[in-house]
Structure 1
């Protein structure tokens, strides 16, 4: 069995047992450095990362195949990629780069299998006269139009 396939099977077995966790990314370098990025419906604890790491390490033979392993949670710097991740962040402000490179910000209010809905609040110039008006716009975005979506960190 191919090395990557072994790792994927071990991870999938672990994730079947832990339905609250899901895989965001699996990277294996040419030097067999494995990086696993997990997320969870209720976040990811250090213990969750340790359990995932053990599920892989305890079932692989280092004598047969030497590797390094790093298991981590998806942090704030990681983009949202799955509908499940978006659902977890309903009510939060998102910064989104669209496929046409435009950047928008808005509060995530709805998540569907093929699109998300944001409430965007901004100011725009009045159509007549000087000054600006406040605008509140609801916008649906298909996942196909989203290049990158991050949770906005506000202090």
Structure 2
């Protein structure tokens, strides 16, 4: 286990840039959830390369989930990691370019492996069955209305 040195992100006085720097710092520390939180709104605003970095952070979270033995649906997590990576342009030239490009390839390989992994496919089928048993939004609305009428 390698300890990561915790340093404060660069502060510029500009709240948007400060948020971006928080995201960069979280990625450096491999704190994917923190990076996701810092970059999500910036990605929607198309600030710098925040969209690619946000997709990278989400892909990292999903990839990690896909590798957990106790994961409910490792195939779906692998699929989502690959999906997020496909949202990062192949000609990306921003921060962490080399790491991101290597990770995109890793996610593609991981998804291909999950597609032929019988355990991952069984868990995926079970998760789909559970989801089919959940009430639809319409069913929930009708139940809510019926409860309000009583």
Query: TM-score range with shorter-chain normalisation?
Result: under 0.3
Per residue, is there more helix in 1 or in 2? 2
Per residue, is there more strand in 1 or in 2? 1
> TM-score by structure 1 length?
0.27
Q: Say which one has the larger Rg.
A: 1
